[in-house]
Copies of this chain bind each other. A is one copy, B any other.
């Protein structure tokens, strides 16, 4: 089963990831992968770090002559700022962070906690996601994310296609599909900077081109909505995950909440609505998969909150580390990657196969079967 482990600290010499389970024969476009890393670094409201260095990764293994070989894929990022061994210790945990619990659990300085719990680790998860996107693209599966809310400022509700999302967010400083909303978001972030405060928000991810039947209802670990919820909630700052209409479904009548089934020769089975977000019974139902994630405001404040000095047990203000003011635009790029990983994993589980050629054949056979 597709599987990965990341390593590396925020200010360590390296960050790296090993991804196990990719088939052979997939073309690996390093420019694409590094482009995705750059997308993660963008977004109005980022702090100083992103300007220091443009992230890029090298291959450690699993790729020969630009094609995957079926072996574990290793990707390596070299940090320019690698001062982790000489950075000062931290004594005042930042509310909202891993600092307090991490320090007590692992019986170590907050520095060691901060360095690993930092969202910098998501650079590696974006690299994994980029490989998964390259894989999914081969089967016509496409993913895009966009920011739907920053603080109280939200976009008007409308369902957009992946292409529309990509077109409308192009050039947006906050990965937003609506220029007017974008302006309001930027003003809000500027206000946050001035007030030394931070902001959270929401983003939406949409994946199109999925076959019917990824995931399963037979065992809870196989449910694709559960897998998506897990991966998305594992993102730093995530506090809510919704599938399709999500939270709003609580208030509707059953007769309004489900997506009726239709059939046509050209399209096969289809739906005219997509309240389910493309998932029923823990499986893709052929419609676009739509998920929404809520991110809390960044927990590192330039105007720190009340905390306790863990050496003296005296009340003091929390420590401050260089940080962003709003990470939701970056979060939406990371979210795409997380969704890509789960979809690629489910796809590989369903279709088996060790080479792109074999998977393609298995996939085509299944499509013929479900359309017959």
Kindly provide the distance from the CB of A161 to the nearest chain B CB, expressed in whole angstroms.
21
Interface pair B247/A247, CB less than 8 Å apart: yes
Known: A108-B24, A242-B240. A12 touches B60 (CB 8 A): yes
Interface pair B306/A262, CB less than 8 Å apart: yes
Kindly provide the distance from the CB of A314 to the nearest chain B CB, expressed in whole angstroms.
8
Kindly provide the distance from the CB of A318 to the nearest chain B CB, expressed in whole angstroms.
8
Known: A249-B239, A262-B306, A308-B263. A101 touches B229 (CB 8 A): no
Which residues of A (254-273) have their CB < 8 Å from a CB of B? 254-255, 257-263, 269, 271
For A152, A251, A299, the residue with the greatest tally of chain B CB atoms inside 10 Å of its CB is A251
Give the interface SS of chain A, mostly helix, strand, loop or mixed: mixed
Interface pair B308/A7, CB less than 8 Å apart: no
Proximity bits, A76-89, B CB within 8 Å = 1, else 0: 10000000110000
Proximity bits, A229-250, B CB within 8 Å = 1, else 0: 1111110001111111111011
Interface pair B231/A240, CB less than 8 Å apart: no
Residues of B within 8 A of A8 (CB): 60-61, 74
Q: CA separation between A306 and B232, bound complex, in Å?
A: 33
Kindly provide the distance from the CB of A258 to the nearest chain B CB, expressed in whole angstroms.
3
Contact of A58 among B13, B286, B298 (CB under 8 A): B13
For A1, A99, A255, the residue with the greatest tally of chain B CB atoms inside 10 Å of its CB is A255
Kindly provide the distance from the CB of A150 to the nearest chain B CB, expressed in whole angstroms.
8
Which residues of A (55-92) have their CB < 8 Å from a CB of B? 58-62, 64-65, 67, 69-74, 76, 84-85
Interface pair B219/A5, CB less than 8 Å apart: yes
Which residues of A (305-348) have their CB < 8 Å from a CB of B? 305-308, 313, 315, 318, 348
Q: CA separation between A126 and B118, bound complex, in Å?
A: 30
Q: Which residue of B lies closest to A244 (CB)?
A: B239
A370 touches B (CB below 8 Å): yes
Interface pair B233/A243, CB less than 8 Å apart: yes
Interface pair A229/B241, CB less than 8 Å apart: yes
- Other A-B pairs, 19, CB within 8 Å; known A225-B234, A239-B276: A6-B18, A7-B71, A24-B108, A64-B111, A95-B271, A101-B284, A102-B283, A105-B354, A199-B254, A200-B250, A200-B252, A242-B247, A249-B297, A254-B298, A254-B299, A258-B299, A352-B352, A352-B353, A361-B369
Question: Which 9 A-B pairs give the minimum distances between C-beta atoms?
Answer: A352-B352, A98-B281, A7-B74, A198-B254, A105-B213, A96-B258, A254-B297, A230-B230, A7-B61
Interface pair B226/A315, CB less than 8 Å apart: no
Kindly provide the distance from the CB of A184 to the nearest chain B CB, expressed in whole angstroms.
13
For A24, A58, A241, the residue with the greatest tally of chain B CB atoms inside 10 Å of its CB is A241
Known: A3-B5, A280-B98. A241 touches B250 (CB 8 A): no
Interface pair A95/B152, CB less than 8 Å apart: no
A115 touches B (CB below 8 Å): yes
Interface pair B69/A116, CB less than 8 Å apart: yes
Residues of B within 8 A of A240 (CB): 240-243, 246-247, 249-250
Which residues of A (5-47) have their CB < 8 Å from a CB of B? 5-9, 12-18, 20, 23-25
18 A-B pairs (CB sep. < 8 Å): A18-B18, A25-B107, A60-B76, A61-B116, A64-B111, A70-B116, A100-B280, A101-B286, A198-B253, A200-B254, A223-B234, A229-B232, A239-B247, A252-B296, A252-B297, A254-B299, A257-B296, A348-B352
